[in-house]
Amino acid sequence: MMLLAVQVGSKRKNNSNGMGNGNYSGICHSWGADGRCISLLKILFSNCCMYDCKYCINRCTNSVKRATFTPREIADLTINFYKRNYIEGLFLSSAVIRSPDYTMEMLIKTVDILRNEYNFNGYIHCKTIPGCSKDLIDKLGNLVDRLSINIELPSNESLKLLAPQKEKTGILAPMNYVSKNIKQNRLDKNKYKTDFVPAGQTTQLIIGATPESDLKILKLSENLYKKLSLKRVYYSAYISVNNDKNLPTLEAPPLLRENRLYQADWLLRFYGFKADELLDEKHQNFNNLLDPKCDWAIRNLDKFPIEINTADYFALLRIPGIGVISAKKIIRARRSFLLDFESLKKLGVTLKRAKYFITCKGKYFDKVYKFNSSFIETNLVYQEKLSIPNKSYKQLSLFDNLQNSNFQFSSFQSEKQKLLLFNKIQPSKEDKIKCLTGNL
């Protein structure tokens, strides 16, 4: 059981007899208009699983303590936490008890108590159990805000190897059914009809448990977004919890790889990139030293430099250091005057990356005169190392004291530089929230 912060993306109004509400804005600290962060109670209905997935701690052959809630217990727990202002919503999942249909019936009973007995109108995200009947999906979908069906492993071969009781078609079929129902519900103009999964559906992929390349994983995500209109694909770095000959032996979870996939996923959804642009058969995995956008730009220098004052919106989005917000600011600002590098800095453009790929009024940034891949890559990698002096990636505790850690500064840095670097890596409040929610 834990608290989780997410972007909910649905709107469910309260009434005079109920409690709580769901809202589009103000849900996640990263995207909310008013900056609020909403906490969700994330809880398993049961860890008594009938499946023997080799990567899962709750596999049926593991000797672990088992527990199962009743629908009433979870409903009461949620309401009591809500009344104490601990949470504003529920994230409900479960292992598969007895059968997919039985598990779904228990989840439906839980949510039904919250919605119809306690009149709880807050956000509820629920897992759908692959293999359950369509009638049960309909019932649950009309009660919750968001559904998720976890694919977990990126290929059918990997499922056969590590989760032989599951099948690709058994996972994709309910995802496709939910997607069609969401679209049909939005086309239906009957205002008295209950919204079906108003916040859409999501899925999760485990990264590093099987040998699939980043290209294969990203193309899978791209197809899910296009064909099923998923709201989000989540990537979870594989953590070794079981001993099995078919599982890889990793010293640590591949957190950097997970981060690169999230960065690339963002480029797919908001920047107009395609999976085949970011990776190809020669480059099937992301660069460990550079983020996907910088790496793509270096491999496509023939498309640069881009003139800031004439480029269209989509061309601006391709420039490293320029995001969606800054691109819109550039479009608005240049209606009044021609932009220079100082203007871009004021607009929030990250010039330490962008300066190698742009011109302003036909001129390069000062001292940027060697427009070649090796020069640009060397400088970008150097800046990356300066911004993250500690090269190791690890999951941080909110209570880590960096002064007492093994953090090492380079010998050539002055005391002032060391202080500046130390202050730069101190975790902000937003970083701490991201650390708890797995978004860091």
- Note the pLDDT tens digit of each residue in 366-415: 766 566 778 788 888 887 777 665 545 554 443 344 344 344 444 444 55
**Cβ contact 264:233 at 8 Å:** no
Please give the pLDDT value at position 388: 62
Superfamily of domain 2-202+210-228: Aldolase class I (3.20.20.70)
pTM of the model: 0.79
Alpha-carbon span 163 to 31, nearest angstrom:
35
Q: Are 350 and 383 spatial neighbours (Cβ–Cβ below 8 Å)?
A: no
Q: Show the 3-state SS of the chain.
A: CEEEECCCCCCECCCCCCECCECCCCCCCCCCCCCCCCEEEEEECECCCCCCCCCCCCCCCCCCCCCECCHHHHHHHHHHHHHCCCCCEEEEECCCCCCHHHHHHHHHHHHHHHHHHCCECCEEEEECCCCCCHHHHHHHHCCCCEEECCCECCCHHHHHHHCCCCCHHHHHHHHHHHHHHHHHHHHCCCCCCCCCCCCCEEEEEEECCCCCCHHHHHHHHHHHHHHHCCCEEEEEECCCCCCCCCCCCCCCCCHHHHHHHHHHHHHHHHCCCCHHHHCCCCCCCCCCCCCHHHHHHHHCHHHCCEECCCCCHHHHHCCCCCCHHHHHHHHHHCCCCCCCHHHHHHCCCCHHHHCCCEEECCECCCCCCCCCHHHHHHHHHHHHHHHCCCCCCCCCCCCCCHHHCCCCCCCCCCHHHHHHHHHHHCCCHHHHHHHHHCCC
Express each pLDDT in 160-179 by its tens digit: 999 999 988 889 999 999 99
pLDDT at residue 367 in the model: 66
Lowest mean pLDDT among 201-205, 240-244, 342-346: 240-244
Segment 273-286 mean pLDDT: 95
Is the confidence at residue 439, as pLDDT, over 70? no
The larger pLDDT score, comparing residue 48 to residue 400, is at: 48
CA-to-CA separations, 79 to 19, 181, 302, 370, 414, in angstroms, rounded: 9, 29, 58, 62, 55
More confident residue, 110 or 19: 110
Flag whether pLDDT at 287 surpasses 50: yes
pLDDT at 189: 66
pLDDT for the residue 421: 47
Mean per-residue pLDDT of the chain: 82
Spatial distance between the Cα atoms of 356 and 437, rounded to a whole number of angstroms: 34
427 vs 301, higher pLDDT: 301
- Confidence band for 431, pLDDT divided at 50, 70 and 90: low
CATH 3.20.20.70 residue ranges of the chain are 2-202+210-228
Q: What one-letter code names the amino acid at 61?
A: T
